[in-house]
Chain A
Amino acid sequence: MAIGELKNVRIKGISCCLPDNKVLNTDYYERFGKDLVDKAIKMTGINTRYVAIKEQCASDLAYTAAERLIEKLNWDKDTIKGLIFITQSPDYRKPSTACILQYRLRLSEYCAAFDVNLGCSAFIYGTFFGSLMMSNNDINRMLVLIGDAGSRYISPEDHSSILLHGSAGSAIALEYDPEVNNSIKYSLKTDGSRFKSLYTPAGASRNAYTAKKEPYLHDDGLMRSDYHHFMNGLDIFQFSITKVPKTIKEFLNHYKLNNDMFDYLVLHQPNKFMVEKVAKKIDFPLEKTLINVEKFGNCNGSSIPLLIVDKIRAEAENGRIRLLTSGFGIGLSWGVMDLTLEHITIPDIIYSNEYYTEG
């Protein structure tokens, strides 16, 4: 079982950057009809989203979040020895966008950098990888960057996905610290058998010679090309309301933990309905379940950092809070974490349309 504890690691800071481009779901009345849009808003709870402008990549959002965090932490960049970028909208097919970010952030050459291809489980996996990388005592400071700006991969006619997605970038600063009392406990899981529930058929190696560039009508009644994102919403819904609560309960039992020990439940934010459903299934009080999907939409891997920065910033900066968190989705990949935040650094949420011009 991928269940374990990470010791001697502290989250020092978290920051988030959103595109300075607010989109209202009611703006889609003309394209999809008022009935359909209103129904989607009612079901998902999503009113507004921030969507990357055309020139802006996920890495631009993550870069800005990272710069601001390093500045506020007052970290000497030469002390950062590791950078992980978790994304499903990389700058290029190759190389790893993390290498470009190492250069853009002007980090030292003595820095391990690589990409990880994960979505909604990114925060859990990122904290796991980042912590593990510091276990040899040679890397004392790490940056885990998460970014997605996937709206451009969604067919403009795919109302099932386009009304949900927001773009966001986030940065998590980790530090080795033998004085830390609270270990980070985790459980990580994968069910690749359902990979087609959320995927993009073309754009990489598989189907390279047969993929259709032009949109065509699919069984679900939507026009998409093979390069467009596909979601089987029903499958994902079913997965989220069964496997996720089951895994959380199993995790709590394994470590003999219970809901009362946690200050907040911090779940990935696919939509309001699903978040409330998962909370209800594990009997977690709704008033301690954080929700902000109505403002930002589904921001993939940045959902969890965005909740912390948006909803419980003061408590995380000035005190100590214990979070039960879970990220779940594409892969299908999911994880649960018991995480304590204590006096961490959190800059204001940044809204920016800046992008890299040397690419």
Chain B
Amino acid sequence: MLDLLWADSVSFRYAVDAPLVVDGVTVRLADGALTGILGPNGSGKTTLLRLLSGTRRPTSGRVLLGDRPLEQLSRRDAARQIAVVPQETELAFEYRAIEIVLMGRHPHLGVFTVEGPADVRIAEDALAATGTSHLANRFFHELSGGEKQRVVIAAALAQSANLLLLDEPTASLDLGYQLEIASLLQRLNQQHGVTMAISTHDLNLTASICRDLILMRDGRVLAAGPTASVLTPENIRLLYDVEADVHVHRGTGHMTVVPVKRIAR
């Protein structure tokens, strides 16, 4: 299968004298992939997503989008192909949900161009795809955590990019919304052909929807490959210093992870 996005031994530090946050990581996202990125806090997941989206440039190594180095693309061109759902969205002013979603059209508009009917239709489709059409004219800050997250995903969809990078999309959500977002992402991947990488702490979410996993620890890749072969008790122990049982849940056919106890490193 074709590699859509390829990080070739990338490293990154935030300041000259700071330690490497991402250290020689190689990651391939095939067209149509639904890949989870797992790792403890501070393992470099968020930074890796920033390198993959091109909002930060690697200190060494390079990221290729198709066959072009990502850094050769303007921000605008990159944003037409790669959309990002950040971990948290804090607004400084009171925007309505539809305004947030329309901001996704930014890379497709000229400096003085105003969103036309086609852009509005794309934004409305994005709201519909995330089940938030009824929230269009509500103020973003008045929405619940799950509603906000779905509107932010809609804004990313409105970018009409074929790559979607999500940073802990379910981190602040309750169980119901977690499942809702999970099935939304799965649907977007399967029906709309959006290639995705999702960083998360939620082992069972990744086990249920991600076909591939990348395990990161201390800025390095610990293991990568198909979910079934990567999500082993041994890898979970190396990743989190936690002893865990991994089963296949009979009802859903997904793998499930049951953490047992913390072990000394």
Say whether A associates with B: no
Task: Please report B residues at the A interface, Cβ cutoff 8 Å.
Answer: none
